[in-house]
Chains A and B, each alone.
Chain A
Amino acid sequence: MGIEYFVGIDIGSTCAKTVVMDKEGQILHRLLRPTGWSSVETAASIQTELETLGVEADRSTVVSTGYGRAAVGFAAKNITEITCHAKGACHIHGTDDLTVIDIGGQDTKLIAVEHGQVTDFVMNDKCSAGTGRFLEVMANTLSVTPEELSNMARSGGGVSISSMCTVFAESEVTGLIGKGEQRENIAFAVIDSIVKKVASQAGRLKMDQKVCLTGGLCGFDYLRERLSSVLHCEVCADPDGRYAGAAGAALSARDSYLKTLGK
């Protein structure tokens, strides 16, 4: 029995994404689950789920990525999320020249891809400013979901948060709530802070080509619109954007399989 399934597993800090592809690069399955406290256990439960879906281990080749990539014991190879996001985003957006903005749970990265090759990238430092985690903490403080926060921000304005640090920004938001500031305005300030943080990173990268947003926030239209306006370019998104890393890993699995066939 030959290899039929190409599995990419992207264990992020918040969510674990899995993509199963066939030989033609068509996505057969998308799985999403919270990473939880143990990447190893998450990887094991993904393995079980794959078996249930009929994606048998002996007919699959697996590549893992993301911050928990080393925890996927059954992966043939692990590749960094930078390479995988770039590859996956190019596939999803059908282009080889692309700048990817990936807002993840723990880090934000901007990746320039030319002719299908990563040529440069920037990542935020170890603090969580401008990441999904930042948004999540602020949404909790405002008792809304991150998506509601993004929608709410559209009708707000006039307020800004100066702290980049999530912990300090949270106290700043609490202070604003205490002063009786409207929730929409605080939500605006939160999105504004993320957008500015991304924009400062973008200053160091090639931006004069197609730009896309991937990661867990790619469906947040208002965030994307604000990014477009601050970066002076249209930032596009695809519903599969949050699977970009996993798709890139699956494509890498497929590439190495095709390479071995070629030999």
Chain B
Amino acid sequence: MTPEPTTAPTPAPARSRSPGPAAHPAPVLSIRGGALRFGPRTLWSGLDLDVHPGEFIAVLGANGTGKTSLLKAMLGEQRLSAGEVLVDGHPAHRGHRGIGYIPQQKIVAPGTPLRGRDLVMLGVNGRRYGPPITSRADREKVDALLAAVGATDYADQPLGSLSGGEQQRLRVAQSLADDPALLLCDEPLMSLDLHHQRGVSELIDARRRDHATAVVFVTHDVNPVLGMVDRVLYLAHGRFTIGAPDEVLRSEVLSQLYGTPVDVFHSHGRIVVVGAPDGDHHHGVVA
């Protein structure tokens, strides 16, 4: 099995519906010749990707195709087997101030003495050492962040009592604490209902429109963000393809990527992939 890309990585096409790349902006994030191998298995190789300010990139693929590892590489927590990751022109490193990170929703441990606003506060001062005294400036910043994501009403409730959607809004606020130029999202809509999926993805979309923040969005289901995505990076079977959604999410492109016949259906504005091997029909519910 040759882990070569089936499609040459294409530069971002200019798209009218989003701010997209300006005339000649420096990319916020660049991957040059990136490869990731675990033992004999190559997850991907020869990956070149430039993410420009205000661009929304969806990373799609089944479990085990290295989506999350790619995100970890951008965070400086996963070494690539080959190639390099540049954030703002410098090698990725842990704790980069210009990166906001939104993880998937998870259960808050019952013994957690934190309220909604404290989750956001950790984004502001969570890595600061010294006596845990919060300044007025920090509190005002948290209030502003809470207001920006519409979480003010439940900010003083115990974290563990909040719904998944409410928690994710708070995590979006937390990720914006340092005014990041790049937002890395790892399945932020996982286990949310449709209503909150829409709410949270619209928050992220609004952020990139208003502040030209680049977004890399790892997801198993592209449908909730289909209208926002500029480009798709589709990982499968040690290969990948990059392009606009309507260039990549097509039967012939995915069939070639998987090396087996795959059908892509469009139904009421949703995309459904049928026939992908190892059951990774990850673009919507397949009956």
Do these two chains interact? no
- B→A interface (CB under 8 Å): none
- A→B interface (CB under 8 Å): none
